[in-house]
Amino acid sequence: MQNILEMTAADLGRLIAKGRLDPVEITQAYLDAAQNHSEIGRVYTMLTTDRALSEAVASSLRAKSCQRLSPLDGVPISWKDLFDTSGLKTEAGSDLLSGRLPKTDAKCLKNATALGLVCLGKTHMSELAFSGLGLNPVTKTPPCVNDPEAVPGGSSSGAAASVAFGLAAGAIGSDTGGSVRIPAAWNDLVGLKTTSGKISLQGVVPLCQKFDTVGPLSKTVEDSALLFSALCGELPIDLKESSLKGARLAILRAKGINEVREKPANAFDQSIKALKMAGAHVDEITLECVSEALGLTGVLFNSEAYGTWKELIEKNPNVIFDKILARFREGANFQASDYLAAWQSLENLRQTYYSATQGYDAILCPTSPIMPPNAVRLMNDEDYYVAENLMSLRNTRIGNLLGLCAITLPTGVPSCGLMMLAGPHQEKRLLRTAVAAERALG
């Protein structure tokens, strides 16, 4: 039998259902792997061993009595350290929240637990989720699976590392400007950004609640679909008979997003060829509403982030990584009138985008226009840090600004992802298109 740690979450669930694997055996395999891994301290803030084994034992009993709660009942997954876990520290990668002990689980964690998923542990993240790089000198910077000297992408950095290094069958992260998709892409995973409001943010440490979303990082689209359904507390999505034949896709062009470095650009071009070979019709569309929306990034994100955290930050600014502190404080440069006017403009731009793209199954672009940056240089070169952080999030932020759902798929080129964007609350349609694209990409 294939190594447990190499299996997809869906395959683990199927073997549990057939009685060929036991949830306790699976959970113990992951706990042992994590405890013996050289990078465990950079991936997990903690392993929730007692909870995981207790949940696995309960799942095992259900499996033996043919009372499984979902296809992933008994499958162990990790949780980014901004999801509240009852009685266990949830500190969002920041000493500002040191010792914070929630009394209850986050709502989406409750949903997943109610469907039998096993909580394996909490993963490291960018401080207060405010970086696309995954660099966190305050707590830990997780490793990148493709380059030991590079950052892994953020802010769901440990979430990606937990799956990429075989230390969790799947992971749950959050995405405010690309924080699921960037680490997924740089670690050759599937990452799903959900529509704002689709999955409850109750019990999730906020960054910008108008843009914050919850989403899975996984080995396959099927795994992402099953995890998405579990987070929502819904029935699984039927992905059977998905095909790209006749699918209408479009490559997104716009001022300010056309610059892509060589490796991601080549990987994207090869991916488009594969999609066309599978029967998809691919257009190119130029949408300046996207450029205009990106121009609103500072006033919208920084204002809300600083407004959310200003009081706590200014009481103890010295405990925050200076580059994250500077980014938060940029929010003080805007007036309330600027913020309100920007939201009014964004709502109009969203409608323009929806009208221009409604005939397509998905809009395409490289997930990230850059490769994972060098961690040491990020610490020592201010200009490099600012430029790489902004570039890392440039493409993914489009989905958050325009209120879309989105997914990143591995292209077969290390750390290069293909992003597919779809309209609000179109996750089921997007996942069906994505599973067909996944097959085409090999």
The CATH number assigned to the domain holding 276 equals 3.90.1300.10
End-to-end CA distance of the chain: 23
Domain co-membership, 167 together with 269: no
Classify residue 305: in a domain, yes or no: no
Q: Which domain holds residue 47?
A: 8-232
**What residue has token string 């409604």?**
358
pLDDT, residue 1, reads: 53
Reading the chain (442 residues) residue by residue, the pLDDT tens digits are 579 999 999 999 999 999 999 999 999 999 999 999 999 999 999 999 999 999 999 999 999 999 999 999 999 999 999 999 999 999 999 999 999 999 999 999 999 999 999 999 999 999 999 999 999 999 999 999 999 999 999 999 999 999 999 999 999 999 999 999 999 999 999 999 999 999 999 999 999 999 999 999 999 999 999 999 999 999 999 999 899 999 999 999 999 898 999 999 999 999 999 999 999 999 999 999 999 999 999 999 999 999 999 999 999 999 999 999 999 999 999 999 999 999 999 999 999 999 999 999 999 999 999 999 999 999 999 999 999 998 999 999 999 999 999 999 999 999 999 999 999 999 999 999 999 999 999 9
Question: Are 227 and 345 contained in the same domain?
Answer: no
Residue 221 and residue 351 in one domain = no
Dump strand ranges (E) for 385-425.
405-410, 417-422
Nearest to 161 by CA among 176, 140, 137, 177: 140
In a domain, 59, yes or no: yes
Whether 1 is covered by a domain: the verdict is no
Q: Do 351 and 284 share a structural domain?
A: yes
253 and 226 together in one domain:
no
356 and 224 in a common domain: no
In SS3 terms, 190-208 reads as EEEECCCCCCCCCCECCCC
98 and 167 co-located in one domain: yes
Question: Quick check: 416 and 366 in contact, CB under 8 A?
Answer: yes
Return the pLDDT at 315.
97
| Judgement on whether residues 290 and 184 belong to the same structural domain of the protein | no
Q: Do residues 264 and 146 share a domain?
A: no
Q: Examine residue 242 and state whether it is found in any structural domain, yes or no.
A: no
Q: Looking at the domain assignment, is residue 292 inside a domain?
A: yes
- State the CB neighbour count (10 A cutoff) for residue 227: 27
Whether 94 and 160 share a structural domain = yes
* Amino acid residing at 156: S
Could you tell me where the beta strands, DSSP code E, fall in 368-416? 405-410
| Number of domains present in the structure of the chain | 2
| Any domain includes 241 | no
Q: Which two structure tokens, joined as six digits, stand for 77? A: 């997954």
Which of 59, 60, 80, 415 is catalytic? The answer is 80
The amino acid sitting at 147 is D
CA 194 – CA 207 distance, rounded (Å): 16
Residues 286 and 406 in one domain: yes
pLDDT at 256: 87
179 given a catalytic annotation: yes
Which residue in the list 162, 174, 179, 229 is annotated as catalytic? 179
Dist. CA 209–CA 11, nearest whole Å: 34
Contacts of 264 (CB under 8 A, 6+ apart): 366, 367, 368, 369, 370, 371, 416
User: What pLDDT score does 98 carry?
Assistant: 97
Residue 316 domain flag: no
Query: Is 2 within a domain?
Result: no
Verify whether residue 80 is a known catalytic residue: yes
Does residue 155 have an active-site annotation?
yes
Q: Helix and strand tally (H, E) in the chain?
A: 18, 11
Same domain, 137 and 30: yes
Give CA–CA dist 178/301, Å, rounded: 13
Of the residues 78, 94, 126, 155, only one is catalytic, namely 155
